[in-house]
Amino acid sequence: MKPRACLVSVEMATALLSFHSGEAIPLQDIPNLSIAEFRTAILSAVSSTCTLAALYGMPAQNGHVRLIAVAADSVTNSLSILSTKVSQSYPCLTLECPQAHWFEREIAEQWQIHPEGHPWLKPIRFHAPYRSGNSVSPAPVPGVTDFFAMAGPEVHEVAVGPVHAGIIEPGHFRFQCHGEDVFHLEISLGYQHRGVERALVGGPGKRTIHLMETLCGDSSIGHSTAYCEAIEALGGTAVSARAQVMRGVALELERLANHTGDLGALAGDVGYLPTAAYCGRIRGDFLNSTAALCGSRFGRGLIRPGGVGFDLDKPLIAKLQQQLEAALRDVQGAVALLWGSSSVQARFEHIGTISRQTCEALGLVGPAARACGVERDIRQDFPSGIFRFAQIPISKWDSGDVFARAWVRWLEIQRSGAFVREQLSSLPEGPILTPSRPLLPNHLVVSFVEGWRGEICHVAITDGAGSFAHYKVVDPSFHNWIGLAIAMRDQQISDFPLCNKSFNLSYCGHDL
């Protein structure tokens, strides 16, 4: 049966505004609904083919909060937007639409709006509310909340973090265990909260691009591209074909480096050291290619509003091609060992399994979703830049376990490698940078990029002067942390490092 598109019903067509990613729309065109209509429209959208790309609050007049929802339909490749005003509370969406759960926790924490009936209403970042007034609550203490707890004979709790045993970002994990078996894992974050979104209001300023590059530093290219596409749409700036190709190459190099590193780390977590050692080094080779492009291994300084900050010439292209071929050859050899080792396969298969149904209900994104058989990839569904012309096939597998998440990465390494190879050999001529223009006042734009972890969504809203009235960042990890928690159910606690690495989520991208 062909999936039903989400804009079919007459009442919904009037309730939602349909538009495209990277398209600036006037604020006045955004439907402002009653809370009942707002809820109905969202529930109807997600019950068909839409996912919730963003749901958040922003200040409105008279101390009210405006809730904005962006639903993405990967069948019609269009976005829908709607909004409503709330002041104290509203009936939560989470009970009927589980993928709203984290968004609603964020709304409650930031704006003190109570989503009534939310089953899991706890802070996600542990900061003081952005809206004063309603209740005077003491400043939250990170990691202090009413954790889910179990009782009974031989039940015990394991607490880990925020400081971890390795060189890892901070986060707190609570395992409810019975013997070695994990019944439940609760993940409490916020330790990396640097107030990025609040600092973006009033911009763009000279620090803005740097905040984009560092809000999640291992995805600098992904987030800075999403930002640049947003303000290019608001400024009506056309980016040259050459710059678009270079952005695509940089994005795929970022994916190649991180996927390679992840496969090495997965090998390390099951004690298979050859692949761990090789991939750790090959990851650096991909990063060094990005550094050859722009001087920074993380692509800092490369993506700039209007294009890219560095150009390529023939000798540098030849050098990049040579580096790429060597790294792809090495990663092929290193990763082939994994699939040829029965002991590795035995540790990867049937561990941390998530069903497709659960994946879709939770709204997981990126390789984690594609490993559950879900065909969801921004490069196909909402392509921008070079991805409108050069398509990368969606890589998926359907077993939903650690193996699937590793295998999807391997498929993506091969396809990204082929993409970079092709693009470098046919780089269009032209300028690399188009001068930026002032942003349209009172407009909104949604931009999407498929980062290596999945869907990066930015929503920029300008005020009457063309400055950011609000800027929303949804990192793929925002959707996926719950996936790790669910994947750990009924697993052995000793499988946590392996499951964790198979997601490899961002703390700072979540905490912002």
Partner 1 sequence: MPSLILTRFRQGKRTLRYPDTEPALPDRFRGLPILDHARCPSGCTSCVDACPTEAITSDGGLQIDIGRCLFCPECANACPEGAIRFTSQYQLATTNRDDLILAEGKSLRLARRLAEQIHRILGRSLKLRQLSAGGCNGCEADVNVLNTVVFDLGRFGIQFVASPRHADGLLITGAITQNMRLALEKTYAAISEPNIVIAVGACAISGGPFRDHPEVLNGAGSIVPVDLYIPGCPPHPLTILDGLLRLIGKIKES
Q: Which residues here bind partner 1, judged by CB under 8 A?
A: 125-127, 142, 162-163, 165-170, 190-196, 198-199, 206-207, 209-211, 213-218, 220, 274, 277-278, 280-281, 283-284, 288, 291-298, 300-301, 309-310, 330, 333-334, 336-337, 340, 506-508
Among residues 151 and 165, whose Cβ is nearest to partner 1?
Answer: 165
- H helix intervals, 349-401: 356-362, 366-370, 378-381
219/454 Cα distance (integer angstroms): 10
In angstroms, what is the minimal distance from the CB of 52 to partner 1?
Answer: 26
Distance CA(453)–CA(14), nearest Å, equals: 34
CB of 375 to partner 1, least distance (A): 29
Answer yes or no: are the C-beta atoms of 474 and 506 closer than 8 Å. Answer: no
Least distance between partner 1 and beta carbon 272 (Å): 10
Q: Please identify, using beta-carbon distances, which residue of 283 and 470 lies nearer to partner 1.
A: 283
The residues near 351 (Cβ < 8 Å, ≥ 6 apart) are 401, 402, 403, 491, 495, 498, 499
Nearer to partner 1, 152 or 166 (CB): 166
- Residue 466 amino acid letter: G
Please, what is the minimum distance in Å from the beta carbon of residue 327 to partner 1? Answer: 12
Q: Which is nearer to partner 1, 343 or 355 (CB)?
A: 343
Cβ nearer to partner 1, comparing 138 with 340: 340
- Using the minimum distance from each CB to partner 1, give the nearer residue, 133 or 340: 340
Which residue's CB is nearer to partner 1, number 192 or number 500?
192
Q: How far is CA 355 from CA 11, 35, 312, 397, in A?
A: 33, 32, 44, 12
Q: SS3 letters for 192-238? A: CCCCHHHHHCCCCCCCHHHHHHHCCHHHHHHHHHHHHHHHHHHHCCC
Q: Look at strands 114-116 and 89-91 and give their pairing.
A: parallel
* CA–CA distance, 452 with 412 (Å, rounded to integer): 9
Q: How far apart are CA 80 and CA 5, in angstroms?
A: 12
Q: How far is the CB of 391 from partner 1 (least distance, A)?
A: 30
CA distance 148 to 155: 13
Minimum CB separation of residue 343 from partner 1 in Å reads 12
Cα end-to-end span (Å), the chain: 41
What's the closest the beta carbon of residue 110 comes to partner 1, in angstroms?
13
Taking the C-alpha atoms of residue 495 and residue 486, their distance in angstroms, rounded to an integer, is 13
User: In this structure, are residues 324 and 421 in contact, taking their beta carbons and an 8 Å threshold?
Assistant: yes
Least distance in Å: CB of 300 to partner 1?
A: 6
Q: Which is nearer to partner 1, 153 or 340 (CB)?
A: 340
Q: Is 404 helix (H, G, I), strand (E, B) or coil?
A: helix
What phi and psi values does residue 490 have, to the nearest 5 degrees? 65, 20
> How far is Cα 463 from Cα 510, in angstroms, rounded to an integer?
26
CB nearer partner 1, residue 90 or residue 286: 286
